């Protein structure tokens, strides 16, 4: 028989897929002997069964829940329905993957109008009624979707009428507030149930339903979590942090989630319940102060924190409650952390021998690396900006944008192409869609473990919390800072690393390489089979690529060197030349430009290989199309505009992608390719004479016939060897290879390998030619294809392994049969895509090449691909990735 419910203290082998992350960890902590309030978990499968058919609850689950409650009463010695030794419970969601704040929680469940009086005699009236009003408000919000603000308004009105704060209420005052809360229910034509069992059933259903609430769906989409997993529900005996100043609640990370430092990091509030810390309603105290307030509790907590981190082999995010100076652990999970902290913690755990180096590499995602190498504020410009406020540096990064006060406004302006910064008193899970599109998040309340901080760190979004000098008036769309009034739409700049907020926009610059990142990438290099090169052709891009650790340049596109006012004029002169003399003059000018370009490029790359792709696009791309531009060109070339216009018209092609381009240009106008290799090797010879080692590699594009390659290779080799002889140089190593970007080239790869020194797959064109898709036009229908599940991803961003991938595999196999040690790489967009890199690892390619800023990502992905394709990889390691 299928089991629906598991007690925390039950022996079983179920994991987080069944019990959810929270339930699995509560069971594990119970086995470890930690002080855990007792309870039970309803499985994730029940959630999906209920969502598929609501009758499942009454027909199958209800009776099992009642049995579990009876067992909990026996374990605790309390009663859930009677008035003696009152048992109250919490109802919390707990999915397999952590989704902080995205689903719902109800505390203090089991109180009603009668039991609260008895509970008051067992505890104290202020405490009992505080618990009851919290229950009514949470129940209304979670079960009936009544806005929390309506309850807050009733509380504030009664405080004003009685001229005293809720902490000074007498029993009659508390009852008056309860009546007003229940009247809010009546406005929505519902009633707060007085039966504790009815409360429990409705709460469990509401938590199941919260799996499909909008914010949870958005969060799962953002973090690539499947929608068919469901959430478990944990019913747990309540312990109370709001019983007085000897009670409290807190959230603590076993290491700093911002920097990764090995020290306790977190906050606590005295006389509060857990949701108060996460919601950011009050600004809490740092955890180190607990050592002064309750030294014994602090020491116990340190012990349990160390035990949990050692057991789970990762930084933990721990929620706890103190009731009458007794510590209870409510939850532990692997903590969300910043990119910098992710890398440092992975490195440190490996150095502490808690995990292996391979596991450390698997714990850092490519997205993490992407966040680490993003820009920071230009410090020189920053010095001249007006600092508006200072808060807590909750999630690092640097961003500028227009202030918005609601998630809806954030989405609206983002859709118009604006950059926005969401500013709130505190964020709530309902704000998730606005948080996702914002460049940064700022809150005037809350601490380093508030909802805003935790979610922002998980998304890699810049965030500053607890800016108490800011007063946010969301209704008036105004931000007050002392005497200053700042309106919605004003541009501010936020530094999540320092907590500083500035008026105006501050430019950003590239981040310096992080020492921890460099160490991690050195580990990656040690494990990877694939080396990583970069696609680059400007000296700035080349320097960036080399700084990020590229093993060379896998693609330097030469066509970009022909743009620029002087250069494009000479290119146009060459294309439209009316005499050999004019063409020769243009080639000489272009040779001069290219020589200097190649000299500077090779000087940056030095002893690493640099693949130079010869001219690829059709000639008409260099020619003007607007009337004014044609007239200007005619004047520059001393021709009639009508003559130029006719020549341009003759050069137009019906389908340029399949037309007179690539090696076809080299065959029909070999003087262009000769000029390019002359420029490249003249520069190489000059550098060799200066004592600098260089490794130029020439790549011929768009080869479809072996004879094309033979013809062009002969011409290029004659030109290169002639230059070496002319300069009386000792021959130095160079290679001539081809780009494989046509299906026919894949099919005859064994023949091409006889002549080519290397292959590099141009996956952009190969995907276009295989699918018949135009990369420039796919945007018009790709989203429809995704919605209809015809394709799951853009084949230009992640390799189509079943189609294009099979052509690549065939080509590799054929080439290696001809030339077993042939160097084979990839230089299309997918060269930086982790999924594609894993596929290339299985094919035994030598290198991948990607844009400079993706080099660190590709290096990590290459190491992960090697680790994950090794037979010894465990299922746990696969989950880590």
Q: Which two tokens stand for residue 357?
A: 């180096």
Distance CA 857, CA 863 (A): 10
Distance CA 296, CA 289 (A): 12
Question: Mapped to the 3 state alphabet, what secondary structure does 485-497 carry?
Answer: EEECCCEEEEECC
The widest CA-to-CA distance across the chain, in whole angstroms, is 107
Distance CA 737, CA 611 (A): 9
Q: Which two tokens stand for residue 733?
A: 């190593």
What value, to the nearest 5°, has the Cα angle with vertex 35 and ends 30 and 39?
55
What is each CA distance from 635 to 581, 630, 632, 640, in whole angstroms?
A: 19, 9, 5, 8
Q: Determine if residue 763 is labeled as part of a ligand binding site.
A: yes
Distance CA 89, CA 71 (A): 13
In the chain the first and final C-alpha atoms are separated, in Å, by 34
* Three-state secondary-structure class, residue 850: strand
What is the number of alpha carbons within 13 Å of residue 396 lying toward its C-beta?
22
Burial of 835: CB neighbours in 10 Å, binned 0-12, 13-18, 19+:
middle
What is each CA distance from 164 to 134, 149, 152, 161, 167, in whole angstroms?
A: 19, 20, 15, 8, 8
Q: Determine if residue 762 is labeled as part of a ligand binding site.
A: yes
* Three-state secondary-structure class, residue 782: helix
Q: Determine if residue 152 is labeled as part of a ligand binding site.
A: no
- Nearest-Å Rg of the Cα atoms of the chain is 33
Distance CA 223, CA 209 (A): 20
Q: Which two tokens stand for residue 447?
A: 């601490």
Q: Any idea which residue has 């007003």 for tokens?
A: 180
Asked if 232 and 43 touch (Cβ cutoff 8 Å), the reply is: yes
Torsions phi, psi of 80, nearest 5? -85, -20
Q: Which two tokens stand for residue 697?
A: 């590699």
Q: Is the dihedral of CA 678, 683, 684, 689 positive or negative?
A: positive
Identify the bridge partners of residue 423 per DSSP, sorted by sequence position: 442
Asked if 280 and 427 touch (Cβ cutoff 8 Å), the reply is: yes
Strand order across the 462-465 sheet: 387-390, 500-503, 491-495, 398-404, 420-424, 440-443, 462-465, 392-395
- 149 C-beta neighbours (distance < 10 Å), count: 9
Distance CA 278, CA 825 (A): 49
Question: Of 462, 463, 827, 850, which is the active-site residue?
Answer: 827
Q: Determine if residue 764 is labeled as part of a ligand binding site.
A: yes
Question: Of 47, 131, 451, 850, which is the active-site residue?
Answer: 451
Give catalytic status of residue 827 as yes or no: yes
Asked if 343 and 514 touch (Cβ cutoff 8 Å), the reply is: yes
Distance CA 640, CA 645 (A): 9
Distance CA 255, CA 261 (A): 6
Identify the bridge partners of residue 535 per DSSP, sorted by sequence position: 555
Q: Which two tokens stand for residue 87?
A: 């048992």
Asked if 143 and 202 touch (Cβ cutoff 8 Å), the reply is: yes
Give catalytic status of residue 12 as yes or no: no
- 876 C-beta neighbours (distance < 10 Å), count: 10
Q: Strand runs (DSSP E) across 206-263, as ranges?
A: 231-237, 248-253
Identify the bridge partners of residue 492 per DSSP, sorted by sequence position: 401, 503
State how beta strands 609-613 and 695-700 pair. Answer: parallel
Distance CA 541, CA 560 (A): 13
Distance CA 352, CA 371 (A): 26
The residues annotated with a catalytic role in the active site are: 451, 827
Residues in the annotated binding site for substrate: 557, 613, 741, 762-765
Residues in the annotated binding site: 557, 613, 741, 762-765
Residues in the annotated binding site for Mg(2+): 741, 765
């Amino acid at each position: 028989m299928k089991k629906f419910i598991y007690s925390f203290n039950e022996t079983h082998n179920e994991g987080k897929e069944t019990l959810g992350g929270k339930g699995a960890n509560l069971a594990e902590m119970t086995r470890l002997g930690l002080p855990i309030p007792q309870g039970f978990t309803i499985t994730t499968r029940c959630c999906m069964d209920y969502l598929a058919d609501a009758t499942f609850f009454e027909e199958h689950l209800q009776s099992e829940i009642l049995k579990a409650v009876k067992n909990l009463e026996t374990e605790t010695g309390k009663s859930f329905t009677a008035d003696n030794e009152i048992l109250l419970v919490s109802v919390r969601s707990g999915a397999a993957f952590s989704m902080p704040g995205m689903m719902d929680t109800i505390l203090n469940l089991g109180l009603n109008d009668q039991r609260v009086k008895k509970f008051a005699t067992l505890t104290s009236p202020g405490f009992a009624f505080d618990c009851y009003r919290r229950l009514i408000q949470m129940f209304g919000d979670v079960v009936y979707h009544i806005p929390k603000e309506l309850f807050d308004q009733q509380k504030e009105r009664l405080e004003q009428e009685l001229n005293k704060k809720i902490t000074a209420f007498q029993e009659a005052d508390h009852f008056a507030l309860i009546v007003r809360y229940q009247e809010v229910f009546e406005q929505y034509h519902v009633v707060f149930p007085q039966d504790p069992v009815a409360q429990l059933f409705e709460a469990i259903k509401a938590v199941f339903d919260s799996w499909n609430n909008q914010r949870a769906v958005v969060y799962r989409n953002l973090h690539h979590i499947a929608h068919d997993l469901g959430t478990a529900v944990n019913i747990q005996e309540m312990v109370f942090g709001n019983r007085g100043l000897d009670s409290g609640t807190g959230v603590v990370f076993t290491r700093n989630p911002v920097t990764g430092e090995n020290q306790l990091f977190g906050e606590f509030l005295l006389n509060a319940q857990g949701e108060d810390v996460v919601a950011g309603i009050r600004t809490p105290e740092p955890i180190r102060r607990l050592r002064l307030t309750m030294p014994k509790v602090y020491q116990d907590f340190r012990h349990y924190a160390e035990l949990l981190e050692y057991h789970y082999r990762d930084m933990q995010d721990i929620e706890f409650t103190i009731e009458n100076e007794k510590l209870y652990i409510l939850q532990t999970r692997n903590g969300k952390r910043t990119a910098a902290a992710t890398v440092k913690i992975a490195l440190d755990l490996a150095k502490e021998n808690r995990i292996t180096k391979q596991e450390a590499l698997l714990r850092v995602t490519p997205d993490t690396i992407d966040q680490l190498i993003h820009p920071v504020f230009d410090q020189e410009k920053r010095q001249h900006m007006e600092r508006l406020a200072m808060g807590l540096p909750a999630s690092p990064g640097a961003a500028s944008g227009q202030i918005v006060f609601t998630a809806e406004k954030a989405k609206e302006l983002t859709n118009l192409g604006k950059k926005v910064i969401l500013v709130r008193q505190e964020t709530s899970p309902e704000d998730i869609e606005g948080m996702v599109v914002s460049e940064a998040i700022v809150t005037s309340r809350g601490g380093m473990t508030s909802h805003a901080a935790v979610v922002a760190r998980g998304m890699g979004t810049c965030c500053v919390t607890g800016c108490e000098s800011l007063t946010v008036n969301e209704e008036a769309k105004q931000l007050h800072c002392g005497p200053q009034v700042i309106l919605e739409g004003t541009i501010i700049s936020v530094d999540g690393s320092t907590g500083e907020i500035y008026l105006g926009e501050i430019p950003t610059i590239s981040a310096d390489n992080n020492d921890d990142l460099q160490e991690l990438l050195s580990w990656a290099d040690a494990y990877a089979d694939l080396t990583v090169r970069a696609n680059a052709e400007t000296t700035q891009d080349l320097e960036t690529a080399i700084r990020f650790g590229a093993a060379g340049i896998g693609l330097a596109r030469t066509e970009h060197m022909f743009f620029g006012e002087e250069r494009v004029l000479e290119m146009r002169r060459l294309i439209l030349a009316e005499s050999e003399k004019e063409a020769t003059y243009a080639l000489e000018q272009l040779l001069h430009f290219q020589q200097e370009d190649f000299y500077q490029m090779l000087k940056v790359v030095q002893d690493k290989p640099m693949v130079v792709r010869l001219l690829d696009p059709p000639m008409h791309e260099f020619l003007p199309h607007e009337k004014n531009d044609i007239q200007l060109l005619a004047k520059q070339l001393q021709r009639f505009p009508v003559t130029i216009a006719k020549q341009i018209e003759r050069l137009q092609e019906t389908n340029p992608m399949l037309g007179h381009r690539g090696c076809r240009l080299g065959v029909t106008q070999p003087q262009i390719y000769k000029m390019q290799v002359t420029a490249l090797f003249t520069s190489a010879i000059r550098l060799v004479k200066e004592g600098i080692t260089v490794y130029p590699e020439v790549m011929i594009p768009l080869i479809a016939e072996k004879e094309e390659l033979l013809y062009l290779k002969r011409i290029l080799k004659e030109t290169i060897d002639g230059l070496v002889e002319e300069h009386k140089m000792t021959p130095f190593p160079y290679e001539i290879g081809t780009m494989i970007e046509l299906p026919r080239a894949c099919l005859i790869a064994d023949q091409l390998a006889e002549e080519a020194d290397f292959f590099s797959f141009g996956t952009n064109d190969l995907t276009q030619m295989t699918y018949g898709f135009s990369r420039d036009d796919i945007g018009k229908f790709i989203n429809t294809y995704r919605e209809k599940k015809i394709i799951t991803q853009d084949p230009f961003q992640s390799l189509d392994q079943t189609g294009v991938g099979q052509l690549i595999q065939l080509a590799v196999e054929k080439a290696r049969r001809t030339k077993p040690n042939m160097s084979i790489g990839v230089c299309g967009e997918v060269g930086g895509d982790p999924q594609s890199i894993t596929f290339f690892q299985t094919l035994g390619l030598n290198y991948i090449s990607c844009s400079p800023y993706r080099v660190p990502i590709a290096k990590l992905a290459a190491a992960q691909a090697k680790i994950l394709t090794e037979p010894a990889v465990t299922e746990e390691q696969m989950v880590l990735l």
